[in-house]
């Protein structure tokens, strides 16, 4: 069963369990899946591949993180709390990401491979690393590690 089909099943389970938060979040995921299908020229009833589904859920999680940050800065903890709960549900569908400690040796190897010694070429390192670590590490963590290594 694909991720898309699994999430459709979770929608039914959430309805039966009357789990409002999970239901709202899963509906949002399915809406984003439909939008992605339409944007790629497919029919709304088609099913996304697992890779496409993970990309959509990753994007939704990133949006939640940004919203939490903005709501917290704006003093709206009530709205930030809603986003935090939804983020927890989204993260159940995502693979666990690498920590900064796990990223560091890979980043060091990439820097040696490219022969980069100064911070002006940070974009080359980040670009190469993100291709290697796509879906395995958060881009913000990768950036922090690379900046610390090149400073």
Q: What CATH code is carried by the domain that includes residue 75?
A: 1.10.1510.10
Kindly report, residue by residue over 39-67, the tens digit of the pLDDT. Answer: 988 888 888 888 888 889 989 999 999 99
Structural domain range at position 23: 3-91
Q: Are 119 and 111 in contact (CB under 8 A)?
A: no
My answer on whether 14 and 78 are in the same domain is yes
My answer on whether 136 and 63 are in the same domain is no
Number of structural domains (the chain) is 2
Q: Are 126 and 61 in contact (CB under 8 A)?
A: no
The confidence score (pLDDT) of residue 16 equals 94
My answer on whether 84 and 104 are in the same domain is no
Task: Please calculate the CA angle 65-82-100 and round it to the nearest 5 degrees.
Answer: 30
At 151, the pLDDT band (50, 70, 90 cuts) reads: confident
Kindly report, residue by residue over 85-140, the tens digit of the pLDDT. Answer: 999 999 999 888 888 888 888 888 888 887 777 777 788 888 888 888 877 888 88
For the chain, the distance separating the N- and C-terminal CA atoms, rounded to the nearest angstrom, is 46
Cα separation, 94 vs 61, in Å, equals 9
At 38, the pLDDT band (50, 70, 90 cuts) reads: very high
My answer on whether 21 and 76 are in the same domain is yes
Distances in whole angstroms, Cα of residue 131 to Cα of each of 57, 81, 139, 143? 18, 33, 11, 13
The confidence score (pLDDT) of residue 89 equals 93
My answer on whether 11 and 76 are in the same domain is yes
Which segments of the chain are extended strands (E)? none
Phi-psi group of 115: left, alpha or beta (phi > 0 → left; psi -120 to 50 → alpha; rest → beta): left
Distances in whole angstroms, Cα of residue 63 to Cα of each of 12, 90, 146? 25, 11, 23
């Amino acid at each position: 069963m694909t991720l898309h089909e699994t999430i459709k099943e979770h929608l039914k389970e959430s309805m039966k369990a009357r789990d409002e938060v999970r239901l709202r979040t899963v509906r949002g995921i399915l809406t984003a899946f439909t939008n992605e299908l339409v944007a790629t020229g497919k029919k709304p009833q088609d099913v996304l591949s697992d890779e496409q589904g993970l990309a959509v859920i990753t994007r939704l999680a990133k949006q939640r993180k940004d919203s939490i940050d903005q709501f917290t800065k704006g003093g709206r903890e009530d709205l930030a709390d809603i986003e935090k709960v939804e983020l927890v549900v989204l993260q159940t569908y995502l693979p666990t990401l690498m920590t900064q400690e796990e990223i560091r040796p890979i980043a060091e190897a990439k820097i040696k491979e490219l022969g980069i010694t100064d911070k002006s070429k940070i974009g080359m390192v980040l670009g190469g690393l993100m291709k290697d670590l796509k879906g395995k590490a958060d881009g913000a963590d990768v950036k922090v590690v690379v900046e610390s290594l090149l400073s």
